[in-house]
Amino acid sequence: VATIDELRKNMIEPFVYRRYLDYGVFESLRDMKALIAAEVRKRELAANIKLGPGGIREIEFIAQSLQLVRGGSDQQLRCSELQVVLPRLGDGRGLATTAVSTLLAAYEFFRRMENGIQAIRDQQTHDLPGDPQDRARLLLVMHYADWDTLMADLDGHRLRVSELFAEVAFRADSSPERSQFAESLTALWNSAATAEEWEGLLQQNDYADAGKLAASIVEFANAPVQRQIGATARKRLRHFIPVFLMLLQERKSPHIVCDRVLGVAVQILRRSAYVALLNENPAVLERLVSLCENSAYLAEEIARFPLLLDEMLDPRLYSASITAASMREDLHERLERYGSADSEQQIEILSQFQRATLFRIAVADFSGNLPIMKVSDRLTELAEIVLHHALDVAWADLTRKHGQPCFTGEFGVRTAGIGVVAYGKLGGMELSYRSDLDLVFLHNSSGTGQQTNGDKPLENSMFFGRLVRRLVHFLTTQTSSGALYEVDTRLRPSGRSGLLVVSIEGFERYQEDNAWTWEHQALLRSRAVAGDAVVAREFERIRVETLRHRVRRDQLLADVLSMRDKMRKQLDKSSATLFDLKQGQGGLGDIEFLVQYLVLKNADQHPAIIHYPDNIRQLGALGAVGCLEVDDVARLQEAYKAYRLCVHRLVLDDAPPLVSADQFADERRFVRAIWQREMCA
């Protein structure tokens, strides 16, 4: 038989607190308020401190409506005690701190007055007394000298509560009376107007590309989803359409913005609480239109993951600084909000956090608040935070069942650790929005007694294999917020035919005896990003040793040129009219291969140049030791940054890394000249 707690958790709470933000609550709240107001007038309840205007019931409605909106994703709001939940709502969850103080003060005042009223004649009533003797008793309870002063304070509390109630519940109705144009837009939508009718109205009101915009509106009106939605969604859509279309009036390409926003609308109509969110929050709708105007990538992200609309409620979206510390704090708060969560729930929370943070970084990027190098830094830090937490969850899962992996070495019994090594874009701290994670997994178990110490012991090799498979599963599995990342493990020793997780000793032997030049190139852009600190130090020792002393420098140039030629033939999309920023001659790929060749060539004599895993700082190190002229380094760095900035902008517009063939002409000539001098002399 289910316990009360189980019934509450499994049946009652999922019914009361919806999984997604439910801004339809405010529509219901307004309807309920209208019914109560009618009842107050009918029964003459203006003197009722509970049901009257600005009374206890309005405070309860404010708190409960915000609880219903956010309680599905925030367990700390699932609380029945109003004086407990109000401060939580003030913690960035719908109410300003001053509003919370106002409501708490009013609630405490009303409750003291309620207790006094009910104590006078021992009756369950909330009506102010009319009898002079009863009023005198209430004054005594409330510690007031006269009735007028008490009523003035009561009216002040009621007024402030009513204003806050209106601010929360009637925010979408606070605009001036609708214009004639808005009425005309509504009439056309309600009448299933033709494209010609739409075009005529839009042209009269000076919309650019009125014909294309009209076609987009009619296509949306006739979309299959329109036949699948109910009356509530239709009502919300009727409110949304004219307000949205009026925001397009001053846009340069309104039909493009319209297509992107309506692409979001198609995805949210079946969960029309999101349409209610846009109706209830005009500022969010304006932000949505602005983001869709500037970025196809962001529009696509919002359409795929409507939960991102919640991020747009935060007015700091365009202004708040994003740091590794703020990201960690955000994740910690999200996990705390959810309370106790199993591993799958933690990964769902992690996925929501990653998706929201990725979105915030992209917004900061396109709005110019983050320079290109900082964008990659933030994306890289985000991936590292995700890896750390996902590894912790996977480790906790396995050790709970099998115990800690142990081994006996020269210093006695020790716990074995695992290290996650990043290669490629993550290793080089140049992650982009759609980058895969190139990962290699190493453990330091050796000696004897290599098994876990739990009730169901496993050999350490099997334990670490299961651990890595679970971690990769966490990272790549589709949740309701999407997969965290795509993971590529092919850079491990022996590639696909090799073990998924390798011992440090085995990794070192492979680097000594079997690694190819292209693997040395990859090793240049590698670093430990998560896991055991001892494993990380051992990896870095092997990396330095390999890059200094294991590179076959007699065939290095031929190997690098051969690999670059092979990549260009397979991947270069340049043409007579287009330049491929990544693979074209004089582009990003040439700079990367040039840097890798020069670092590998000189690493034995100048070990400082292999300290950093990223191209910009490797270039700086080459200049510092005299392997490149300082002026050449500066120009290569500027070209590299310019290319990467352009690639980022194209990604945000959902476009391939191709530009007109006449763009970056000076940069490409310079890169080719340095390539010719260093690689073909």
Predicted local confidence at residue 72, as pLDDT = 64
**What's the CATH number where 596 sits?**
1.20.120.330
- Mean pLDDT throughout 97-113? 94
**What's the CATH number where 299 sits?**
1.20.120.1510
Of 340-344, 412-416, 485-489, 614-618, the poorest mean pLDDT is in 340-344
Total tally of structural domains belonging to the chain: 4
For residues 665 and 578, membership in a common domain is answered with yes
For residues 148 and 195, membership in a common domain is answered with no
Q: Would you tell me how many other CB atoms lie within 10 Å of the CB of residue 251? A: 19
What digits encode the pLDDT tens for the residues 218-253? Answer: 999 999 999 899 988 999 999 999 999 999 998 888
Nearest C-alpha neighbor of 160 from the set 82, 54, 48, 36: 54
Amino acid in position 49: I
Distance of alpha carbon 331 from alpha carbon 477, whole angstroms? 19
Distance of alpha carbon 309 from alpha carbon 295, whole angstroms? 15
Q: Is residue 8 part of a domain?
A: yes
For residues 154 and 236, membership in a common domain is answered with no
Name 442's bridge partners: 419, 502
Amino acid in position 163: E
Q: Is residue 630 part of a domain?
A: yes
For residues 602 and 618, membership in a common domain is answered with yes
* Coil vs helix vs strand at 579: strand
What digits encode the pLDDT tens for the residues 40-75? Answer: 666 666 788 998 888 998 899 888 888 877 776 677
- Mean pLDDT throughout 633-646? 95
pTM over 0.95: no
DSSP result, 345-413: HHHHHHHHHHHHHHHHHHHHHHTTSS-HHHHHHHHHHHHHHHHHHHHHHHHHHHHHHH--EEEEETTEE
* Coil vs helix vs strand at 78: coil
In this prediction, residue 635 has a pLDDT band, given cuts at 50, 70 and 90, of very high
What dihedral angle (degrees, nearest 10) is formed by the CA atoms of 409, 410, 416, 417? -150
What digits encode the pLDDT tens for the residues 340-364? Answer: 678 888 999 999 999 999 999 988 8
Whether 229 contacts 238, CB under 8 Å: no
What digits encode the pLDDT tens for the residues 561-591? Answer: 999 999 999 999 999 999 999 999 999 999 9
Rg (CA), the chain: 32
Average pLDDT value for the chain: 88
Q: Is residue 333 part of a domain?
A: no
**Structural domain ending residue among the three candidates 173, 195, 227:** 173
Q: DSSP state, 445?
A: -
Distance of alpha carbon 62 from alpha carbon 54, whole angstroms? 11
What digits encode the pLDDT tens for the residues 414-466? Answer: 999 999 999 999 999 999 888 899 999 999 999 898 999 988 999 999 999 99
**Structural domain ending residue among the three candidates 533, 549, 565:** 549
- Mean pLDDT throughout 138-149? 94
Helices (H), 404-555: 424-427, 460-476, 504-513, 517-524, 533-549
**What's the CATH number where 482 sits?**
3.30.460.10
For residues 159 and 241, membership in a common domain is answered with no
For residues 420 and 524, membership in a common domain is answered with yes
Look up tokens 């969604």; give the residue: 233
Of 34-43, 226-235, 615-624, 651-660, the poorest mean pLDDT is in 34-43
Q: Is residue 324 part of a domain?
A: no
**Structural domain ending residue among the three candidates 287, 313, 339:** 313
Distance of alpha carbon 309 from alpha carbon 138, whole angstroms? 49
Domain boundaries, position 667: 556-679
Residue 199 has pLDDT above 60, yes or no: yes
Predicted local confidence at residue 321, as pLDDT = 82
Q: Which residue has the higher pLDDT, 594 or 174?
A: 594
For residues 571 and 480, membership in a common domain is answered with no
For residues 671 and 608, membership in a common domain is answered with yes
Q: Is residue 330 part of a domain?
A: no
Residue 176 has pLDDT above 50, yes or no: no
For residues 144 and 13, membership in a common domain is answered with yes
For residues 540 and 564, membership in a common domain is answered with no
For residues 562 and 545, membership in a common domain is answered with no
Q: Would you tell me how many other CB atoms lie within 10 Å of the CB of residue 154? A: 22
Q: Is residue 340 part of a domain?
A: no
For residues 131 and 264, membership in a common domain is answered with no
Q: Is residue 512 part of a domain?
A: yes
In this prediction, residue 384 has a pLDDT band, given cuts at 50, 70 and 90, of very high
Q: Is residue 336 part of a domain?
A: no
